[in-house]
Amino acid sequence: MPAAFRSRRVLATSAAVVALLLAVLLSLAVGARAVSPGTVLDALLHGATGDDAEVVRGLRVPRTLVGLMVGAALALAGTALQGITRNPIADPGILGISQGSAVAVVLAIAFLGVHTLSGYVWFAFLGAALASVAVYAIAARGRGGATPVKLALGGAAVNALLLSVTTGVLTTKAAALDEFRFWQIGSLDGRDTAVLGQIWPFLLIGAVLVLSVARGLDALALGEDVAKGLGQKVATVRIVGGLGATVLTGAAVAAAGPLAFVGLAVPHIARAIVGSDHRWVLPMAALIGPVMVLVADVAGRIVFPPGEVPAGVMTALIGVPFLVTLVRRKAVPA
């Protein structure tokens, strides 16, 4: 690797770290009640007292930490799924994994009496896992196996089915509608330290699984035959990477709801910055994902004061134009 390119990657990574720190500061300082950066630092480092300090420590720190974890998780999951499927438009939402979590959560609310975010996490995992298996099973049937196009079409079919199930349950269980709709749109509002304690072990496990197959994802990008020729166990790479992406998606969706397009847009931004080597792309995505989520969350707090637009709406507003541009400029491989 040329020294200049290596230096560019290091510089880009440093810039991403700075951007992340600025996004964290914005998340802690900006909202319905503006808090100065100095007060934020005093509240965090010196145990300052007062209403502003309590707002920072009690409300915004947990919210920001959840945003950091969810953004990193969705970005890593999207990067892994795009590498596994060799499909530039693959992400947890498009492949139906997020909707699988949503169906499991709405069933838990409507029929099992689960009413806490900490209770959703197990159902979100189960739904994500079942949706992943269903999409792959559909795509793997027939000639050619699970090609990128077949995975995308299988994901669209499963997504439509699960959305219909969700809508059907909510129309017959009106009591679950109010609770579910706030979760479904995707938001960081109201998240506390209990949620952090529930999800961080799974985010760590999922991240380790995804990072462990970075070399395998690079080989897969060259095609299955080439990857096998390079000594990679393609099935193992896909299973480990897919399992990691499922765990990451389940944890993120359980904590904040299905935030749209983070897993789609961030991997492309990361690759544009550091190239196609997944040993660099995955860490860069883990830095950029939280920046996108936190900036979207902050923007949602200030666009219509004193009200608040959920982060899921803001990420969709960012992601839809990105998806349209991607479809116009890139051909999806068959």
pTM value is: 0.89
DSSP state of 90: -
**What sign has the CA pseudo-torsion 183, 57, 196, 114?**
negative
CA-CA distance, 24 to 297, in Å (whole number)?
A: 11
Give the model confidence (pLDDT) of 275-334 as tens digits.
Answer: 889 999 999 999 999 999 999 999 888 887 777 888 888 888 877 777 777 667 654 444
Domains parsed from the chain with CATH numbers: 1-58 (no CATH), 68-289+311-329 (1.10.3470.10)
Structural tokens at position 310: 């959920």
Side-chain-side CA neighbours of residue 186 (13 Å): 28
Closest CA to 94 of 162, 152, 137: 152
- Cα–Cα distance for residue pair 281/182, rounded to 1 Å: 33
pLDDT of residue 1: 58
Residue positions counted in the chain = 334
DSSP secondary structure letter of residue 230: T
Please compute, for residue 126, the number of CA atoms within 13 A of its CA located in the half-sphere on the CB side: 11
pLDDT of residue 267: 93
pLDDT confidence of residue 64: 93
Query: Which amino acid makes up residue 171?
Result: T
pLDDT at residue number 334: 42
Tokens of 240: 């480990």
Residue corresponding to tokens 């951007």? 19
Q: Encoding tokens for residue 60? A: 């915004």
Q: Which residue has the tokens 């802690």?
A: 28
Residue type at position 91: D
> Do the Cβ atoms of 315 and 297 come closer than 8 Å?
no
Instruction: Taking the CA atoms of 84, 236, 233 and 140 in sequence, report the sign of the dihedral they define.
Output: negative
Q: Give the chain's residues under pLDDT 50.
A: 331-334
DSSP code for 303: S
Two structure tokens written together for 208: 């380790």
pLDDT at 326: 67
pLDDT of 301: 87
Q: What is the pLDDT of residue 73?
A: 95
pLDDT at site 332: 45
Residue from 258, 272, 300, 210 nearest 97 by CA: 258
Short-list 56, 315, 310, 90, CA closest to 185: 310
Q: Give the Cα separation of 323 and 333 in Å (integer).
A: 16
